[in-house]
Structure 1
Amino acid sequence: MTAPTRSAPRATLATPVDLPPIDRAPLRRLHRRRALQHLAAVVITLFMGVPIYLIALAAFSSRESLNDFPKSLLPTDVSTETINAFLGSAGVLPATLNSLLVGFFTVMLSLLVGAPGGYALARYGFRGRDTYQLFLLLTRALPIVVLSIPLAQLFLTAGVYDSVLAVMLVHTALALPTTILITASIFVSVPRDVEEAALLFGCSRIGAFLRVVMPLALPGIAASSIFTFVLSWNEVLAAAVLTLDNRTLPAQVLTSLRESPLAYRFAGGFALVVPALVFIFLMRRYLLNMWGSALR
């Protein structure tokens, strides 16, 4: 007898299922939000970049073209006459060197004192911690003009009046609150486990701070350095009050504006902007690391 053959199963066609329509509204909202963010970034960039461009255009124009009206927005008459006249003015080059020295040592001193302070705020809890942070911010609310006469008297008594050291100390005091708060917010992001692992492998507390915590906190330290340098470079009141012969560049430009021609003013504005932009350009990779990746 032959075994009964099994018939192959018949292929059944799947019945179509009616899918709901795709809701594209969230995607459109996302595209709209990104477009608005890009537009805001462009507007902010133009707001900050157009004045710098106009100052640079005037600084590298001839003296005759500065008086033209309406002035062209394109560099049609490029000349180094204006900037050369400014750089050749009496006291400009020494004042520029003084500003660079003050800015550099202000960054170093503020980090040397402020970074450990920020680390202590981030790692240790103590009574009055929040009040202390608020007090740090309130120190910036006190106008420097109120302190100018007492500071001048103090530096005269100490024998450091009219010196780069006096300006550097004042700028360091002005930058310390923000340095402490910025570095504290960065040290909070560095995990304790990494530091404790370094301690287990034989590092001292200072060694773990220098070898492990500081490299991870470099983006925040770079942001603090940029803020400190720009603050020191642009500060003019303390430098004008505390110095006579050893002025910084902003104080030198400020004291010379009343008797100076228009070309000197534009060239002075350009000279004040360029070093800060160069410093930010050199430190930009640390800022990009801070904005582009999170410390975990």
Structure 2
Amino acid sequence: MSAQSTTKPDAGQPATDYRPRHSGFVSAASHLGTAGQPAPELTRKRRSRNREGLEAGRRSTRTLLWIILAAALVVYGFPFVYLVLTSFKTPIDTIAVPPTILPREWTLENYTSALGRSGVLASMINSVQTAVISTLLSLVLAVPAAYGITRYKTPSGQVFIMAALVTRMVPPVAIGIPLASMMASAGLADTPIALAIAHTTISLPLSIWLMASFFEAVPRDLEEAATVDGCSRLGALWRVVIPVVSGGIAVTAIFAFLASWNEFLFALLMTAVRSQTTPVVIANFQTQFGLDWGSMTALAAVFSIPVILLTLLLQRKIVAGMTLGAVKG
């Protein structure tokens, strides 16, 4: 449709009287913005309001997230803070009713009493040995298993991962006694290696699942380029893939180490005196009047220090592993 018509003037009509006739919608469009504000100004105001609304929504979401994080910090952090504060209380303060958060009198008596007991230092050495052996076993088994599952796509691979994770649902007490009996039959009773093997059965399924997620995030083009340069499959894994997923290995190692470091039931069932770990020793802090809360909290606070230091040392690797996609929601 033509927006403008150009009709010739009649004969004898002056040329100056000729005016082009506009169609209705063009004429209306030419007058937009004459009443009120111009159209560009209205558009700018709408965009400004939209930006303000989006920014307000982001601020509200950010505030809500900070509130949730603060609540989680209180829920998870307060018990540890209370444990540390209790370790500085006198024996009377530890059993006071109602309990107090801050010590009325600060003392180091609980630390000297806990660390001076027979078998405490040996139990901490046993805990370190067991956790390190268990972590190494988990990584040695989980890395090739996860790599094979992710690179050789077969239905049985996914079934294997699901089956491994299902084993995590089995109560530890259901396999603790059979494992203790098997280790005794093999001549490994009351040894750190036996307890480390038992702890590996706990951490291995999760380690395989985590490492499989990490390997999935590594582009296969890197391995193909390495094989073109003459690397074998194992060479590409060792020289190319492992450095890329080093953050994921650190995350997996932390989980495996914590699973062994904090484990209590297997340590109680499979050790006697020679290989007892610190959680079992803490549980045995009893007197004729009941539990020795001061010494228990003091040794528990000391027992937490290696894990905190390990996390701080591997902080960058852990962050790199999280961003690589190992932990999926």
The normalised TM-score by structure 1 is 0.87
The alignment status of 1:263 with 2:294, answered yes or no, reads yes
Per the alignment, residue 83 of structure 1 pairs with 111
Contact 1:170–1:238, Cα closer than 8 Å, also in 2? yes
Cα deviation, residue 218, structure 1 = 1.3
Cα deviation, residue 63, structure 1 = 3.2
User: How does 1:197-216 map onto structure 2 within 5 Å?
Assistant: 197-216=225-244
The alignment status of 1:275 with 2:285, answered yes or no, reads no
Match of 2:321 among 280, 286, 290: 290
Give the AA of the match of 2:249: I
Counterpart Cα distance in 1 of 2:116 and 2:144? 43
Number of aligned residues: 281
Per the alignment, residue 94 of structure 1 pairs with 122
Cα deviation, residue 41, structure 1 = 1.4
Match of 1:240 among 268, 292, 299: 268
Cα deviation, residue 55, structure 1 = 0.6
Give the AA of the match of 2:301: F
Cα deviation, residue 118, structure 1 = 0.9
Structure 1: give runs of 5+ residues left out of the alignment. 1-14
Match of 1:18 among 41, 45, 58: 41
Per the alignment, residue 222 of structure 1 pairs with 250
User: How does 1:1-296 map onto structure 2 within 5 Å?
Assistant: 17-20=40-43, 21=45, 22=48, 23=50, 24-68=52-96, 73-74=101-102, 77-245=105-273, 246-257=275-286, 260-292=291-323
Counterpart Cα distance in 1 of 2:201 and 2:95? 43
The normalised TM-score by structure 2 is 0.79
Counterpart Cα distance in 2 of 1:40 and 1:278? 26
Counterpart Cα distance in 2 of 1:281 and 1:61? 28
Counterpart Cα distance in 2 of 1:156 and 1:279? 33
Counterpart Cα distance in 2 of 1:110 and 1:291? 19
1:167-226 alpha-carbon deviations (Å, 9 max, x no partner): 000011111100000000000001111111111122222121111101111121111111
Cα deviation, residue 113, structure 1 = 0.8
Q: Which moved more, 1:89-98 or 1:66-75?
A: 66-75
1:64-93 alpha-carbon deviations (Å, 9 max, x no partner): 443556665456643221111111112111
1:169–1:180 CA distance, 2 compared to 1 (3 A): same
Q: Percent identity?
A: 30
Q: Which moved more, 1:229-238 or 1:42-51?
A: 42-51
1:170–1:293 CA distance, 2 compared to 1 (3 A): closer
Cα deviation, residue 255, structure 1 = 3.4
Contact 1:234–1:272, Cα closer than 8 Å, also in 2? no
Contact 1:63–1:81, Cα closer than 8 Å, also in 2? no
Match of 1:19, SS state, is helix
Structure 2: give runs of 5+ residues left out of the alignment. 1-36
Which structure: larger Rg?
2
Counterpart Cα distance in 2 of 1:293 and 1:31? 27
Counterpart Cα distance in 2 of 1:262 and 1:216? 46
Give the AA of the match of 1:230: L
RMSD (Å), alpha carbons: 2.2
Match of 2:153, SS state, is coil
Counterpart Cα distance in 2 of 1:241 and 1:256? 18
1:152-172 alpha-carbon deviations (Å, 9 max, x no partner): 221111100011111000011
Give the AA of the match of 1:248: T
Cα deviation, residue 57, structure 1 = 1.0
